[in-house]
Structure 1
């Protein structure tokens, strides 16, 4: 199910699949190899080809039959690479086709014969009975106008047509078309052809683009009342305002999701802001959708000049998701808290937005809101409280007043506490009062947080006690907090598995009691699996991390914590870092040697990278114990590189793949080994780590990309 409650995928049980397959008999035929027309039974109606052949018979794949052959195939699904000749033969011999699906294969040996979507589109007009056409591949910028002659066409689905700019000029002749599916995320059409409003049966139209000078106008949407699913209207900055009283979307009962996009980089008269404001607000009023709408996004693109939201917004009682993006002149929000179905709210890049017009003594609240994202709204302080959030809360360059007001509020029922079900919290670009949160002990609030991200905080990081002792907190990330010197006692978090710290130049370490400063009592993380520290040169006082088993990345920071961890005494159950799979150390200026006893424990290590460590002079003899280590890379370490070639060579000569200063010193494995040991572990580890990161956390992604560079550079 998707976010709007629609079924997106379904799975057939194996027994049901076998039953359908057995009942189909000769009517259904599947092949993983090339076949000729002579091998197709006269009773075969549905044909699927999933294989690929590269021998000499490939050019005679469909034979050379004249039109009118007895083939009765109605459905052809081809999941393989085809040559241009084969594409022509499909349109020549399968004249009775109702369904044609051709998706480009992934066999790298067949790149020369990959799908030419432009060719099939220019030839498909011969298949007069075609109802369904699905193509996957890189087509041209235009869909040939000859496609418009297929008057029986009901579904046209084009996948990965990222170069597509224009639809068929005479698209209005496709009077039976019900679904026009394009990759709206990648396709950027210039305009939608005139006459599209005559397609009365059209149910799916992913994008309606208003051109600057040509194409259909908004009035043509008036007759497309069968539209359902999602509709994106782009280029509204070029559109003419519909006639007064003409609401082009109001009768579309089945439309669930609507995106109103004014476009970007449009040439508009800056001097006529008042006139443009009236025009844009009037345009928005005429785009009044039906009250059944579940998702609405208004994207101003920086060119929308309206100063208020439409009056009809509060009447969308079924609205589940609402997004307001790049509307630079908005100042106040309507009564969004009166939308009792609203679950997800996103507000981005509205610099003048202040909030709602309500008094503090009667502050309203969202009733069902589960996810809230506010970015680039520095003046937004007056927002309804949101105690029921249970998904994700993102606050970026916005006042913390609504957040603080929410966690201070008193709930009517004693068993429910504000934000007690919130699982993800991301605070970014907070310069005002993040530190003030620590002055209150919000008991039973924020107790379910699993993922915490703090970015670009102007002051210290002092969080509520309930958050610092959370038993559910798994992932913590701290980015670009230049004033922070000490962190809370993170080692007391029992479930913490991932810790990422980057670009904190004044950070010295984590706080703990002074009597624990001795080496014997040095605290350590209990379950930490991944640790990434970048650009923190003063960070020396950090709990030890013997339980790491996924990956360790230390870059431009102190190596004291690593040395202390490697020198830890072996426990009865496990040795420190004995489960670690990847270790990357880069730019560690104070690292002079690696402990002998610590190296012996790295028995699970699969990737060992040392980068720009000028004082590191040698690798200890204990490296000989790492018999399962497949790869060692040492780059930009002048002293160590020379020793690895001479004195230290006996310590590392058993490692199959060795790279010194970007040059292979030894490669005892085959190409298969290189793939499995280097690329496989790189991809596997990166995907594992990235799966924990929300898209907004670009620094953590950058950390992993830097790690990928260490993996991939010698393979380029």
Structure 2
């Protein structure tokens, strides 16, 4: 059963706050306090523990009712011991017993084995009359319940268990009494509860407010939780928060809301009022508003970034209904069919995609005071042709008709140019032109002196207006992915209100190659006064090899920008001449960031040495809060000592050809300050992700340790030489390991032979590495008492996902305990693999653990008929770009002639849920053995140009929910039996030219075959001809983002 996560519950409740559950309480008390003679038919017959179950949908108040009963004085008197356990997540018997013991003795339980726990349980509750509440149970496996029940049959006669659950099946499995099904509150009690939660005494004197409140209470569906939540949220909402909440009604239900965009919109509408007494900024006030609404429960399904900051959220459907009630007539989420609109509307959004043929509805023309034009559902279309461009005249009409606009959203419209009349929208504060086709903005845009937010991120934009400095109120200038933008205009230094500038481009190159390059453009020194910048900043520097801009770089004053959390510095221009090194070193030296920085990314730095603020041990004292570091295509020979950064979680290095060792020796792990105090810094105490890619000369982490490993591996070395090598380093140096590393990726590092031990790695990617490299154990350690090498003890390994280009050797080298836990295996670019027969032994070990298996770009793989039969727990199987693999022919016919039974499809019939075949050149049809996969839910077939049909037996896949057909050039029709796939929810057809017309709704010839399918997507392949120019320009300019 799918179930939502919930917090752990507890037994306390204020009885006077509970309304409308008196009768239910009496019924449950009657069952609890009854004598053993009335403990239920099943309990009497089987001498079971009496179990009372409370059943009801989420939010109905099951837990609250259980709390009421649990804390009733009669229950306290009747039971010697009362125990409360929230089961919720997983019905794990050991975990439940531990929680019971914790509830019994009111303190934490030490980690014990099950046998010890059973003894402890007998000690604490044996021969005692107890009441045990198991709250929020989801387990429908009867055997698990019976096992737990038997362990609990140790109490004195009269002990009882009370269970709350949403499932009648759970109640049937566990209960000995008929389940008590909890119903919703009456309309009278619903209103009584809502009024109590939502209104203070003053508000209850307002008839209009009470009228709205009654309507809202009805919408809560008689659910106590909904009534309580909504009521408490509304308490005090009649304030500036009201408009912010109402504004969310402009977004369709289930739409993801980006927090920063939402705040920008609120600010643009004038809804945010900073606290003057606290010297609060507009952005800080907007953040407070958001957090207040979040804490009141208006938002859910939040998504956070790597730092824990909220980035996205959603609104529950009920909350959305409430927002619409609060919004009244001033806010309108319209659909395309609406021609009549209320003349009082101030804020308008369209809940559907606007095509290039869209015209302004007649009713909209009367909205003279319109302030908001939003397109929350606008998506980028694949086809880019002149016939499908959005009309510039419509854009002109929007500007002319609605001069009071504060928010204008044109994102994802196929708009090639912006009318110069845009400058007449003098009230405009928010303008979104992202993902459009605009290459150049009109100069008149700089007349928008109230503009606060300008989103321009799309890779076709080539230039910004010269007079952008006139936008003095600009708070956000978003040109994040404008890879064609080669420079920025001078004057940005005057935009001191800016707090979001994701990309800043500095060009000292005045060559003709730079499109529309002015004589004067932005310099690094323009950043000097922009001390309100926060979040991320990417500085892209076009080198000028005739200058040494160290003075200008230092004037950027990055060390004073405490709001910056992410800094990316990239250098561009490829000429490899002598003074590139000096140029880059001078610039980077002056760009020392504030110590609050959390992410540092440096790309294409050609200096041989790092700046003073990042050298060796100095990085820890200058940037102690770094959480993520990325270095790409840098020429320095040494890298900082990363291992002493206390908060570093993510380290990525790519194409660092001059680096041979990460550190000279373990002695680097102590900063000067810690050395002086005799302290030893932990080795990467927080590192969770490590990515080393295309480091062609990297040999090891520490030079000396690699030498010891090399000595130990060489049979020609004498024992005295080995001991001598080991004596150079103490035990501490060689025993250090990545204590928290969970994700490790090593790609194309052919010389790398040694890495510190990584016992907690769960996700491992290894490709193009030295065969002597061991990443999940440390081959040699030094004894603390002798100067000899010995094999280290192995910690419990946790590997769950493995990606490799040498699957046979990799699986053979892994400890067997790894294979027992491995749930995902991806074989990628493995040219050695010809048959899976050689993997049979490893696959047999993986039989119970492996859930996902993928073969991708295995060009020599020909046979998979042997070995895979062991993988009976497999849920996902993928074959992609395996040119020699043919699953449609008989590999070795059996006596019965059923050849493709050699591919063990029957072994997968119980658990396989997802199957993909993509671009298997030799495969000419679906294997008939697939008919066994009656539990398959997802099937993707792609890149079979010569196939002319899908077999009629596809209807045997009776559980199929999602069918995807991509790039079948000759496929002309769908099978008739598609009608029989009654579970099918999604059908996607793309790049199938002969099939497309037959499947176009409503009149396509094949439409009756899938009329029962709720979601059908039929589309051509991307229009490569019309989009070629854009793709070429994007690729040509991609170097700007490297």
Per the alignment, residue 331 of structure 2 pairs with: 28
- For residues 690-705 of structure 1, what are the structure 2 equivalents within 5 Å? none
List runs of 5+ in structure 2 lacking aligned partners. 1-303, 379-389, 511-517, 670-681, 703-735, 780-790, 981-991, 1019-1042
- For residues 360-375 of structure 1, what are the structure 2 equivalents within 5 Å? 365-375=683-693
Instruction: Sort the Cα spacing of 1:168 and 1:675 in 2 relative to 1 into closer, same or farther, 3 A.
Output: farther
1:497 paired with 2:851, answer: yes
Per the alignment, residue 86 of structure 2 pairs with: none
Q: How many residues are matched?
A: 597
- For residues 316-715 of structure 1, what are the structure 2 equivalents within 5 Å? 316-327=623-634, 329-359=635-665, 365-383=683-701, 386-398=737-749, 404-407=754-757, 418-420=758-760, 422-434=761-773, 445=795, 447-455=797-805, 462-466=812-816, 468-482=818-832, 486-487=838-839, 489-493=842-846, 494-501=848-855, 502-503=857-858, 505=860, 524-532=870-878, 554=887, 563=899, 565=901, 598=929, 601=932, 626=956, 670-672=1005-1007
Per the alignment, residue 229 of structure 1 pairs with: 535
**Distance in 2 separating the partners of 1:190 and 1:147:** 20
1:143 positional shift: 1.3
1:88 paired with 2:423, answer: no
Would the aligned equivalents of 1:534 and 1:556 in 2 still touch at CA under 8 Å? no
What RMSD over aligned residues (CA atoms) do the two structures have, in Å? Answer: 5.1
CA deviations 1:91-136 (Å, max 9, x no partner) are: 22322222222345xxxxxxxxx5536235x322111111111234
Would the aligned equivalents of 1:492 and 1:525 in 2 still touch at CA under 8 Å? no
Would the aligned equivalents of 1:459 and 1:483 in 2 still touch at CA under 8 Å? no
Would the aligned equivalents of 1:537 and 1:558 in 2 still touch at CA under 8 Å? no
Per the alignment, residue 468 of structure 2 pairs with: 171
Instruction: Sort the Cα spacing of 1:607 and 1:563 in 2 relative to 1 into closer, same or farther, 3 A.
Output: farther
1:98 paired with 2:393, answer: no
Instruction: Sort the Cα spacing of 1:428 and 1:80 in 2 relative to 1 into closer, same or farther, 3 A.
Output: closer
**Distance in 2 separating the partners of 1:118 and 1:636:** 37
Instruction: Sort the Cα spacing of 1:401 and 1:45 in 2 relative to 1 into closer, same or farther, 3 A.
Output: same
Per the alignment, residue 513 of structure 2 pairs with: none
CA deviations 1:522-558 (Å, max 9, x no partner) are: 962121233345788999xxxxxxxxxxxxx849995
1:476 positional shift: 3.5
**Distance in 2 separating the partners of 1:453 and 1:198:** 51
CA deviations 1:677-708 (Å, max 9, x no partner) are: 9998999xxxxxxxxxxxxxxxxxxxxxxxxx
Would the aligned equivalents of 2:433 and 2:456 in 1 still touch at CA under 8 Å? yes
**Distance in 2 separating the partners of 1:187 and 1:306:** 24
Instruction: Sort the Cα spacing of 1:672 and 1:391 in 2 relative to 1 into closer, same or farther, 3 A.
Output: farther
1:671 positional shift: 3.9
1:393 positional shift: 0.5
Per the alignment, residue 551 of structure 2 pairs with: 243
**Distance in 2 separating the partners of 1:260 and 1:633:** 40
Would the aligned equivalents of 1:497 and 1:527 in 2 still touch at CA under 8 Å? yes
Would the aligned equivalents of 2:454 and 2:477 in 1 still touch at CA under 8 Å? yes
Would the aligned equivalents of 2:532 and 2:563 in 1 still touch at CA under 8 Å? yes
2:526 to 210, 220, 223: 220
Higher helix share: 2
Instruction: Give the 3-state SS of the residue equivalent to 1:10 in structure 2.
Output: strand
1:295 paired with 2:599, answer: yes
Per the alignment, residue 687 of structure 1 pairs with: none
**Distance in 1 separating the partners of 2:410 and 2:748:** 47
Instruction: Give the 3-state SS of the residue equivalent to 2:812 in structure 1.
Output: coil
CA deviations 1:607-646 (Å, max 9, x no partner) are: 798999x9xxxx99x9699597999999999xxx9xxxxx
**Distance in 1 separating the partners of 2:969 and 2:416:** 48
TM-score by length of 1: 0.69
Instruction: Sort the Cα spacing of 1:393 and 1:678 in 2 relative to 1 into closer, same or farther, 3 A.
Output: farther
1:205 paired with 2:533, answer: no
**Distance in 1 separating the partners of 2:967 and 2:365:** 60
1:169 positional shift: 1.1
Instruction: Sort the Cα spacing of 1:340 and 1:37 in 2 relative to 1 into closer, same or farther, 3 A.
Output: same
Instruction: Give the 3-state SS of the residue equivalent to 1:153 in structure 2.
Output: coil
Instruction: Give the 3-state SS of the residue equivalent to 1:477 in structure 2.
Output: strand
1:208 positional shift: 0.9
**Distance in 1 separating the partners of 2:316 and 2:425:** 34
1:450 positional shift: 1.8
1:278 positional shift: 1.9
Instruction: Sort the Cα spacing of 1:554 and 1:282 in 2 relative to 1 into closer, same or farther, 3 A.
Output: farther
Would the aligned equivalents of 1:116 and 1:138 in 2 still touch at CA under 8 Å? yes
Per the alignment, residue 281 of structure 2 pairs with: none
1:325 positional shift: 0.1
**Distance in 2 separating the partners of 1:390 and 1:511:** 35
1:389 positional shift: 3.7
Instruction: Sort the Cα spacing of 1:37 and 1:393 in 2 relative to 1 into closer, same or farther, 3 A.
Output: same
Structure (1 or 2) with the larger CA radius of gyration: 2
1:46 paired with 2:379, answer: no
- For residues 138-287 of structure 1, what are the structure 2 equivalents within 5 Å? 138-159=436-457, 161-182=458-479, 184-211=480-507, 212-213=509-510, 214=518, 215-238=521-544, 241-243=549-551, 246-263=555-572, 266=573, 268=575, 270=576, 272-273=577-578, 275-287=579-591
Instruction: Sort the Cα spacing of 1:505 and 1:24 in 2 relative to 1 into closer, same or farther, 3 A.
Output: closer
1:388 positional shift: 2.5
Would the aligned equivalents of 1:446 and 1:466 in 2 still touch at CA under 8 Å? no
**Distance in 2 separating the partners of 1:653 and 1:676:** 12
**Distance in 2 separating the partners of 1:219 and 1:632:** 54
1:178 positional shift: 0.7
Instruction: Sort the Cα spacing of 1:378 and 1:177 in 2 relative to 1 into closer, same or farther, 3 A.
Output: same
- For residues 45-84 of structure 1, what are the structure 2 equivalents within 5 Å? 45-50=346-351, 58=359, 61=362, 71-78=368-375, 83-84=391-392
Instruction: Give the 3-state SS of the residue equivalent to 1:151 in structure 2.
Output: coil
1:75 positional shift: 2.6
Would the aligned equivalents of 2:692 and 2:745 in 1 still touch at CA under 8 Å? yes
Instruction: Give the 3-state SS of the residue equivalent to 1:377 in structure 2.
Output: coil
Would the aligned equivalents of 1:321 and 1:344 in 2 still touch at CA under 8 Å? yes
1:354 positional shift: 1.7
Instruction: Sort the Cα spacing of 1:18 and 1:192 in 2 relative to 1 into closer, same or farther, 3 A.
Output: same
1:32 positional shift: 2.0
**Distance in 1 separating the partners of 2:349 and 2:976:** 53
More deviation in 244-253 or 527-536? 527-536
1:491 positional shift: 2.6
CA deviations 1:643-697 (Å, max 9, x no partner) are: xxxxxxxxx997899xxx9988xx89834367789998999xxxxxxxxxxxxxx
Instruction: Sort the Cα spacing of 1:234 and 1:585 in 2 relative to 1 into closer, same or farther, 3 A.
Output: closer
Instruction: Sort the Cα spacing of 1:586 and 1:189 in 2 relative to 1 into closer, same or farther, 3 A.
Output: closer
**Distance in 2 separating the partners of 1:139 and 1:80:** 18
Would the aligned equivalents of 1:46 and 1:73 in 2 still touch at CA under 8 Å? yes
More deviation in 165-174 or 474-483? 474-483
Would the aligned equivalents of 1:91 and 1:123 in 2 still touch at CA under 8 Å? yes
Per the alignment, residue 696 of structure 1 pairs with: none
**Distance in 1 separating the partners of 2:892 and 2:881:** 12
Per the alignment, residue 10 of structure 1 pairs with: 313
Would the aligned equivalents of 2:878 and 2:915 in 1 still touch at CA under 8 Å? no
